[in-house]
Chains A and B, each alone.
Chain A
């Protein structure tokens, strides 16, 4: 079993839909990251969080430390949101803060 599991693997949505991507992990962590990888390959860090909830524009990330679960929500989705969304965890299990364990990613396609 992978230490970081994401679901779903693939997601197709219509423009305007509310989207949720889930991430479960099995190790102790100090921080969880949500990343966005564009079709061209570039990676952007969306959120780094260790508790509660963060919001940036149409994106919301939540984390439940007790349940070892995080969700990334996209409101009013748009075709430009099409990308691979990656969950990564790091810290407490003994590695350095950048020694992240990555999920396999969720490929999101938003149709106009």
Chain B
């Protein structure tokens, strides 16, 4: 049973481009969470999804950011028109019901 898979591991984008970050949860896990870790700062919750539904997006910036978790395929965190302030490590985690979280290795986004 592979762990939580995130790709790409590193992503470089120029200002104004789009960034797509993918997360495949552990097999059997239907709860997916996205977190952001800005340089020299702590982790911050962004969004919680279950299959085809956004449950809690209270931590997501209102503009340019969106997330989905389709019936088939990985969860996607999409950032449109990236800016330098979006440079951060983005972590995905999954869980089975109320058990502990399993984290992916993260995607390091660098905006030039």
User: B42 touching A98 by the CB < 8 A rule?
Assistant: no
Chain A hits for B91, CB < 8 A: 43
User: A100 touching B42 by the CB < 8 A rule?
Assistant: no
Q: How many angstroms between the C-alpha atoms of A57 and B56 in the bound complex?
A: 35
State which of A47, A86, A95 has its C-beta within 8 Å of the C-beta of B43: A86
Chain A hits for B96, CB < 8 A: none
Interface code B76-101, partner A: CB below 8 Å = 1, 0 otherwise?
00000000000001010101001111
Chain B hits for A98, CB < 8 A: 31, 33, 45, 48, 56, 93, 95, 101
A41 and B89 contact, Cβ closer than 8 Å, known pairs A97-B98, A99-B58: yes
| Stretch in contact with the other chain, from A19-27, A63-71, A75-83, A101-109 | A101-109
B66 at the interface (CB under 8 A from A): no
B contact face: mostly helix, strand, loop, or mixed: strand
Chain A hits for B45, CB < 8 A: 95, 98-101
CB proximity of A108 to chain B, nearest CB, Å? 16
Q: How many angstroms between the C-alpha atoms of A100 and B47 in the bound complex?
A: 10
The 4 closest A-B CB pairs, nearest first, are: A98-B33, A96-B56, A43-B103, A48-B100
